[in-house]
Structure 1
Amino acid sequence: MHRPLAALALCLSLAACASVPPSPSPSPRAPLRVATWNMEHLSEDGAQGCKARTDADYAVMRRYAEQLNADVIAFEEVESVKAAARVFDPAKYQLIIEERPAGEHFACGGQEGRKLTRQAVGFAIRKGVSFERAPDLVDLALGNPNLRSGVDITVRAPGHAPLRLLAVHLKSGCFSGLGGQACPTLQQQVPVLERWIDARAAEPVRFVVLGDFNRRLARKDDVLWADLDDGQPANADLSLAEGTTTPKCDPRYSEFIDHIVLDARAGRDLVGFEEQAYAPADGHPSDHCPVVAVLR
C-alpha cells in the first residue's frame, strides 16, 4: 500500500474508533430485600378459618405484597401454597411451605362455627432468584403437631453472595420474662434454634433467621436473646435488623415481636430496615405488618 493510502486508512480507523462511545459502567447491584410477614390466619377460602376475608380483602393484601417489593418474604400463619398464591402473584413468586401437616382444628374464640385452619410457615421467592431447600427444622415443633417447623433455604440472587434463610414462627404467649404459661415451651424451642445458628455460623455462608418470634428480643437484658446471641462461634454474634426502631403497625405495641436476625456477616451487609404500616383506609389486613431488611 502506498504511504498516502496507508496514512488515510490509519486516520479513518482512528476516527472510527473515536466515534464509538465508551462502554457504560456496570450499574450498581440492586440491594436484596428480605422480609417477614405474619399474615393472620390466611386461608384458601376467606369463609373458612379464624380470619374472615372477602375477595376485596385478598386484593388489598396483594397490593401490599406488591408495594413491599421484596425479593424473599418469609410468611407465617398461612394455610397452604394455594392460600399464599392469593396474595403473592405466582407469575412473580415461587411459593414453598413447611411440610408439617395440619394439627388440630380448634374452634376460633368468639366466632361461632369457625375453626382454625393450618398455620404454616413458608417463603415467597421472587422468580429469577434461585434457591435450594434444606429439610425443614422439624425439631422446632418439639413433636407437637400444633407447633411450627422452620423452613430452611439458601437463596442465590444475581449479583449477591449466597444467603441462608430460616423462617420461624415460635410459640406465642411468652413475650417477655419467663413467667407466662407458654414460656416453658418457648424455652425448649430456643436451644433448637441456637443449635441451628451455631451450625450455620461455623459454615462459610452468611445467614438470617426471620419470622414471628413472639418475643420482644430487643428489650434490654432479654434472657432468651442472650441465649441466642452468645457470640460463639464468632459468626453467631447476632444483630436485629430493626436496631432501635420501634413499630408503627399498632399503637398498642411499642416493641417488635417479628424480627429479622442477622449473623455477623449479614449484619455487616445491612443497609436499611423498613416497616410497611397499613394505610388507615385499609384497616388491618393482618394483625402484623411486614418488615424488611435491605442488604447490599
Structure 2
Amino acid sequence: MLSFSHNLTQKRTQKFTTHAIALALASFAFNAASHAQQTNKSDEVGIASFNIAWAGTKADFKTHLAVCSAPEVNWCDTRPRIMRGATEPTKEEADRAKQCQSNIEAAAGGFEKSMMVAPCNAYRLNASNWSNGEAWYDEKMTGLTSTIDKLVTEQGIGIMAFQEVKSRETIQAILGKHVNDFETCVAEHNAFQTVGFAWKKSLSSKPAVCRSEEALAIKDNEEETSKIRKLRPGVELNITVGATPLSILNVHLKSSCANLITTDRYAGHVLTDDDKACKILNRQVAPLENWIERVASKTPLFVVLGDFNRRLDEEAASNPPKDQVRSDGSDPASPNKTGPHGEVKTRLLWQELSDGNPSLVQVPLAEGTGACKGFVGLDHILISEALNAKQNGAASSVKVGVDQLKGQKIISSDHCPRITTLKLR
C-alpha cells in the first residue's frame, strides 16, 4: 500500500509538473505573440490627406461676412468671367473684377488683410442669404469634426495632412475631443489658404519637426512687383514612428491644369501648353522635385501627399517614352534646366517626379465609401520605393465619406479624406 500510494503521488506530481510547463509555454507563446503584435502596430502608421475647403475659425468666418456684406463689396466676385468659347474676359468684365478687388481691400483694411479673408464666393453665400451664414458655418465645422473623429476612432489614423486650412487654431478646433492627443502645425503663408499637419503625440517619444517648404510658394504672376500673390507653400513633417524616421511633405499645387485627357468639361493639357494655369503649375515642378531628391538622399522612407490638382493617374497610364516627358527630349532623371521664372521643359509631372532618381510609387486611387462625392484623382499619396518595399503586398488607399447634413448650405468639404496605412519596418 505504501508503495502504491508513493507511486500514485509521484504520477500526480509528474502530471502537475507537465501541466504547469504546458501552461507556462502557452503563456510565453501568448505573450510573445502579443508583443509581436504590439511591435508590428508600433511600426505602422495610418495617414490621411484631407482638403477641408476654406476652413477657418468662427472668428475668420465672421470677418468674411463683415467684408463681403459691406455695401461697397456686396458679395462681388474678384475673378473676371470669361464667356464660353473666349480665351480672355471682356474689358468691361476685367474692369468690374478689378473694382471688386479694390472694394474688398478697402473693406478689409488693405491688401495684406484682404488676402487673409476667404473670397466672397467661397461658401456660396450672397446678399439674400448671408444672414444665416453663422449657423450654416457651424454645420460645416461640425461635419469636419465628426469626419475627423471617424478617421481617428474608426480608421486608426495617426497623421493627418490638411489643405485649404487657415491656421493651427482651425485644426485644433476640428480635432474636437481628440485635440489633446495631437500636435499640430501649419506652413506660414500670406493668404487664407495654407497646409498643415496633425499627428498623434503617442506616435513617437522624440519631438517631431515641422517646417514650411517656401520654395513651392511661387509668385502667381512673376511680373508683379507690388500686391504680390503667392501660391500655397508646402509643409514638411519629420517624425520618428516607433524607431523609424519618416519624412512627409504635404502639398496643395496650382489648380485648373488637372487633366491630361480631354473630357466634356475640361480640356486636356501637358505642363508646357500655352495655358495660364499650366504655366504656373509648371513653375512648381522644380521646387517639388528638389525636395524629393534632397530628402531621398538622407531619408529613404518618405511620403509626398496632398491635393496635387493634377491627374497623376492619367499621366502614369499614358506611359510615354522617356524622350517625351520633356519638350526638349532630355532624360527626366537629368538636371532640369529652369528658365528665368523657374519654368521647365517638363510636360508630365508624374514621370518627372518618379524619374528613377529616385522612383516613387502612387498609392492606388480607390472608390469612395459612404457619403464620399468629392473630386476624383486630385488627391494623391506618393511613397518612396524603399517604403513601398516594406508593405505586405501592394499599398492601397480608401476615400472616407465626409459627414454633412442633407441639404447642408455650406458643405463640410468638396474633397473626401484619402487614407492609407503604411508599414515602416
Q: Does 1:207 align with 2:328?
A: no
Give a deviation string over 1:88-135, Cα, whole Å, max 9, x none. Answer: 1321221111123x33xxxxxxxxxxxxxx101010101212353254
Q: Which amino acid aligns with 2:56?
A: S
Quickly say closer, same or farther: Cα 1:63–1:134, change in 2 above 3 A. closer
Q: 1:152 — aligned with what?
A: 236
- Are the counterparts in 1 of residues 183 and 201 from structure 2 also a CA contact under 8 Å? yes
Quickly say closer, same or farther: Cα 1:99–1:14, change in 2 above 3 A. same
What is the distance in 2 between the residues matched to 1:190 and 1:153? 20
What is the distance in 1 between the residues matched to 2:313 and 2:368? 12
Q: Does 1:120 align with 2:194?
A: yes
Which structure features the higher share of helix residues?
A: 2
- Are the counterparts in 1 of residues 258 and 309 from structure 2 also a CA contact under 8 Å? yes
- Are the counterparts in 2 of residues 151 and 166 from structure 1 also a CA contact under 8 Å? yes
Could you say what secondary structure the match of 1:147 adopts? coil
Alignment of 1:166-181 (within 5 A): 166-176=249-259, 177=269, 178=271, 179=273, 180-181=275-276
- Are the counterparts in 2 of residues 41 and 77 from structure 1 also a CA contact under 8 Å? yes
Could you say what secondary structure the match of 2:284 adopts? helix
Q: 1:230 aligns with which of 355, 366, 370?
A: 355
- Are the counterparts in 2 of residues 246 and 256 from structure 1 also a CA contact under 8 Å? no
Could you say what secondary structure the match of 2:173 adopts? coil
- Are the counterparts in 2 of residues 247 and 256 from structure 1 also a CA contact under 8 Å? no
Q: 1:82 — aligned with what?
A: 169
Could you say what secondary structure the match of 2:415 adopts? coil
Which structure features the higher share of strand residues?
A: 1
The CA RMSD over aligned residues, in Å, is 2.8
**Which residues of structure 2 form unaligned runs of 5+?**
1-5, 65-117, 124-132, 220-227, 260-268, 319-346
What is the distance in 2 between the residues matched to 1:203 and 1:95? 25
- Which stretch shifts more, 273-282 or 81-90? 273-282
Give a deviation string over 1:212-249, Cα, whole Å, max 9, x none. Answer: 111111103371111111111xxx21121125x35674
| Structure 1 residue 27: Cα displacement | 4.4
**Which residues of structure 1 form unaligned runs of 5+?**
104-117
Q: What is the total number of aligned residue pairs between the two structures? A: 268
Q: If you compute each CA radius of gyration, which structure gives the higher value, 1 or 2?
A: 2
Q: Does 1:193 align with 2:293?
A: no
Quickly say closer, same or farther: Cα 1:83–1:153, change in 2 above 3 A. same
What is the distance in 2 between the residues matched to 1:40 and 1:204? 32
Q: 2:341 — aligned with what?
A: none
What is the distance in 2 between the residues matched to 1:186 and 1:19? 65
| Structure 1 residue 267: Cα displacement | 2.0
What is the distance in 2 between the residues matched to 1:75 and 1:127? 17
What percent identity do the matched residue pairs reach? 27
What is the distance in 2 between the residues matched to 1:215 and 1:247? 18
What is the distance in 2 between the residues matched to 1:259 and 1:285? 20
- Are the counterparts in 1 of residues 402 and 413 from structure 2 also a CA contact under 8 Å? no
What is the distance in 2 between the residues matched to 1:214 and 1:149? 14
Q: 2:188 aligns with which of 75, 85, 99?
A: 99
| Structure 1 residue 32: Cα displacement | 1.4
Q: 2:385 — aligned with what?
A: 264
Q: Which amino acid aligns with 2:383?
A: L
Q: 2:147 — aligned with what?
A: 64
Give a deviation string over 1:7-49, Cα, whole Å, max 9, x none. Answer: 9xx9798886665452322242233111100100001114433
Could you say what secondary structure the match of 1:136 adopts? strand
Q: Does 1:42 align with 2:55?
A: yes
Q: 2:213 — aligned with what?
A: 137
| Structure 1 residue 162: Cα displacement | 2.0
- Which stretch shifts more, 20-29 or 177-186? 20-29
TM-score (norm 1): 0.80
